[in-house]
């Protein structure tokens, strides 16, 4: 077990955008409809006690709490501040903790930035690319563009980060190969001014159709890598997926859950819904309600009981059960069979290779070729891959 935990705290279970690919609102698990739209202060207090008690009981050195949604800022500034205050009071001074928020940034103003500064909240923003690409999927409830409002929010956050009011922000983008990755990457770096980002594979299971062919996604990933190493951007720009792949091929640990033999799933991760219900990693929501439902909540279980429950133990056993197609693959140590949600099917649960297997193999081969050209010997690469 790790010495740190991660808590995804659903402070809002509604959103002001209507992203067509959203794993929370548009996928198999629709339990959010039975949950309160926002986290009540009373539930926040109980969640704080749950986290503090869990850290003490398990001897954890720290915890990261992701203030999540939906769109977290929809709860309003007073409620958000109160939740930060409640968590701070519950965890200080005995638990080392950090607060993060993932937002679409459309509601950001200086008052929000003051709140983030006061509670040292680290900010991540979701944006998919330039306006034409972003607005294919990331539109508001009336179907209108979200791009300009998001970039306006990013600009305010970036300005605050430059003067040290808040930490540098990160950006999350969902891969869309209809536009060259180099165009999207350069837009983030040169136009938006982002230096920390991650690109997410389309979040699909084997029971769903992916809107792009695997070679298209693979070519996107290779193009992204080439854009990243061009002009030696990799020295100053962090792309978490690429950082992780390079690290693994060099024999180091992944920076990302879901990539790497030992890093596919965090057993010290819990999602707390707005009503206090406990469930596993939020990204597994696409597998359906049965995977997410545990019957436990912050009132009837401790963190230790949750993490050692049969439900979580079963998921961990399934993660560690290598799918037959992966056993002899030369990239297994680098891939780890991929993100769990991408392995899922109703017929055989997680006993499948990733739906993005072809694309990932293309990326691993492309990065390996570059590393060998840069001086890594073939023997060193083979050793790092365990072959």
Over the stretch 201-219, which tens digit does the pLDDT of each residue have? 998 999 998 889 999 999 9
Identify the pLDDT of residue 264.
40
244 band by pLDDT with thresholds 50, 70 and 90: very high
Cα dihedral across residues 77, 79, 80, 84: positive or negative: positive
Identify the pLDDT of residue 2.
66
Asked, for residue 380, whether it belongs to a domain, the answer is no
Asked, for residue 366, whether it belongs to a domain, the answer is no
Asked, for residue 379, whether it belongs to a domain, the answer is no
Q: Could you tell me the end-to-end alpha-carbon distance of the chain, in angstroms, rounded to an integer?
A: 27
Which pairs count as long-range contacts for 242-246, CB under 8 Å and 24+ apart, including other chains?
Answer: 242/367, 245/334, 245/363, 245/364, 245/367, 246/367, 246/371
Asked, for residue 357, whether it belongs to a domain, the answer is no
User: Do residues 220 and 181 make contact, with C-beta atoms less than 8 angstroms apart?
Assistant: yes
Asked, for residue 361, whether it belongs to a domain, the answer is no
267 band by pLDDT with thresholds 50, 70 and 90: low
Per-residue pLDDT of 307-364, as tens digits, reads 999 999 999 999 888 898 898 899 999 998 989 999 999 999 999 999 999 999 999 9
Residue 286 has pLDDT above 80, yes or no: yes
Residue with tokens 């159709």, as numbered in its chain: 209
Residue 251 has pLDDT above 90, yes or no: yes
Burial class of residue 3, CB neighbours in 10 A (0-12, 13-18, 19+): exposed
Cα 229 to chain centroid distance, Å, stands at 23
- The b-or-e profile of 244-264 (16+ CB within 10 A means b, else e) is bbbbbbeeeebbbbbbbbebb
> Which of 49-53, 141-145, 309-313, 349-353 shows the lowest per-residue confidence on average (mean pLDDT)?
141-145
Per-residue pLDDT of 359-368, as tens digits, reads 999 999 999 9
> In total, how many domains does the chain have?
1
Cα dihedral across residues 212, 213, 218, 223: positive or negative: negative
Nearest to 21 by CA among 134, 106, 123, 114: 134
In angstroms, the CA 69 to CA 80 distance is: 12
> Which of 33-37, 55-59, 225-229, 314-318 shows the lowest per-residue confidence on average (mean pLDDT)?
33-37
This prediction's pTM: 0.94
Q: What is the 8-class DSSP label of residue 192?
A: I
Nearest to 81 by CA among 43, 49, 118, 52: 118
Residue 25 has pLDDT above 90, yes or no: no
265 band by pLDDT with thresholds 50, 70 and 90: very low
Residue 142 has pLDDT above 90, yes or no: no
Residue 266 has pLDDT above 60, yes or no: no
Nearest to 131 by CA among 155, 107, 148, 112: 148
Strand partners, 125: 103, 171
Identify the pLDDT of residue 359.
97
Asked, for residue 383, whether it belongs to a domain, the answer is no
Identify the pLDDT of residue 101.
98
Residue 156 has pLDDT above 80, yes or no: yes
Q: Maximum CA pair distance of the chain?
A: 58
Per-residue pLDDT of 72-105, as tens digits, reads 999 999 999 999 999 999 999 989 999 999 999 9
Phi, psi of 199, deg, nearest 5: -115, 125
How are strands ordered across the β-sheet holding 62-68? 238-239, 196-200, 170-174, 122-126, 96-103, 62-68, 4-10, 269-272, 278-279
In angstroms, the CA 90 to CA 49 distance is: 6
What's the mean pLDDT in 157-180? Answer: 97
Asked, for residue 348, whether it belongs to a domain, the answer is no
297 band by pLDDT with thresholds 50, 70 and 90: very high
Instruction: Check whether the bond before 93 is cis (ω within 30° of 0).
Output: yes
What's the mean pLDDT in 297-303? Answer: 97
CATH number at residue 248: 3.20.20.70
Q: What is the 8-class DSSP label of residue 274?
A: T
Asked, for residue 387, whether it belongs to a domain, the answer is no
Structure tokens at 122: 């680290």
H-only helix segments in 250-323: 289-292, 303-307, 310-320
Q: What mean pLDDT, rounded, does the chain reach? A: 93
Q: What is the dihedral of CA 330, 336, 342, 343, to 10 degrees?
A: 80
Instruction: List CB contacts of 140: < 8 A, sequence separation 6 or more.
Output: 16, 17, 18, 106, 146
Structure tokens at 273: 């819904």
How many C-beta neighbours within 10 Å does residue 372 have? Answer: 14
CA distances from 139 to 11, 72, 127, 146 (A): 22, 17, 11, 5
Phi, psi of 363, deg, nearest 5: -65, -45
Provide the domain limits for residue 48.
Answer: 4-343
H-only helix segments in 210-302: 214-229, 240-249, 289-292
Identify the pLDDT of residue 256.
83
What's the mean pLDDT in 22-35? Answer: 78
């Amino acid at each position: 077990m790790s010495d740190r935990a991660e808590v995804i705290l659903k402070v809002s279970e509604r959103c002001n955008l209507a992203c067509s690919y959203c794993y929370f609102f548009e996928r198999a698990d629709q339990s959010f409809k039975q949950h309160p739209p926002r986290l009540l202060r009373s539930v926040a207090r109980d969640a704080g006690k749950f986290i503090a008690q869990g850290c003490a009981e398990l001897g954890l050195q720290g915890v990261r709490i992701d203030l999540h949604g939906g769109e977290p800022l929809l709860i309003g500034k007073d409620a958000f501040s109160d939740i930060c205050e409640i968590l701070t009071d519950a965890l200080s001074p005995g638990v080392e903790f950090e607060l993060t928020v993932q937002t679409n940034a459309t509601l950001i103003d200086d008052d929000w930035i003051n709140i983030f500064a006061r509670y040292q909240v680290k900010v991540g923003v979701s944006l998919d690319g330039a306006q034409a690409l972003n607005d294919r999927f990331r539109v508001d409830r009336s179907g209108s563009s979200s791009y300009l409002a998001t970039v306006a929010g990013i600009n305010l956050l970036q300005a605050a980060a430059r003067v040290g009011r808040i930490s540098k922000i990160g950006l999350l983008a969902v891969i869309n190969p209809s536009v060259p990755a180099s165009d999207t990457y350069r837009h983030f770096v040169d136009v938006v001014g982002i230096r920390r980002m991650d690109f997410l594979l389309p979040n699909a299971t084997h029971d769903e159709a992916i809107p792009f062919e695997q070679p298209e996604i693979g070519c996107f990933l290779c193009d992204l890598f080439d854009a990243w190493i061009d002009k030696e951007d990799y020295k100053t720009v962090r792309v978490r997926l690429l950082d992780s792949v390079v690290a693994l091929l060099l024999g180091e640990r992944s920076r990302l859950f879901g990539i790497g033999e030992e890093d596919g799933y965090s057993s010290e991760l819990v999602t707390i819904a707005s009503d206090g219900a406990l469930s596993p990693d939020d990204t597994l929501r696409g597998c359906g309600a049965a995977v997410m439902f545990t019957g436990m909540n912050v009132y009837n279980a401790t963190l230790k009981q949750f993490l050692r429950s049969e439900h979580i133990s079963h998921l961990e056993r399934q993660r560690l059960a290598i799918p037959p197609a992966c056993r002899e693959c030369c990239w297994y140590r680098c891939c780890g069979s991929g993100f769990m949600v991408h392995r899922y099917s109703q017929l055989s649960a997680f006993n499948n290779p990733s739906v993005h297997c072809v694309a990932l193999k293309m990326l691993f081969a492309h990065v390996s070729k570059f590393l060998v050209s840069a001086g890594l010997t073939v023997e060193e690469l083979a050793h790092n891959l365990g072959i």
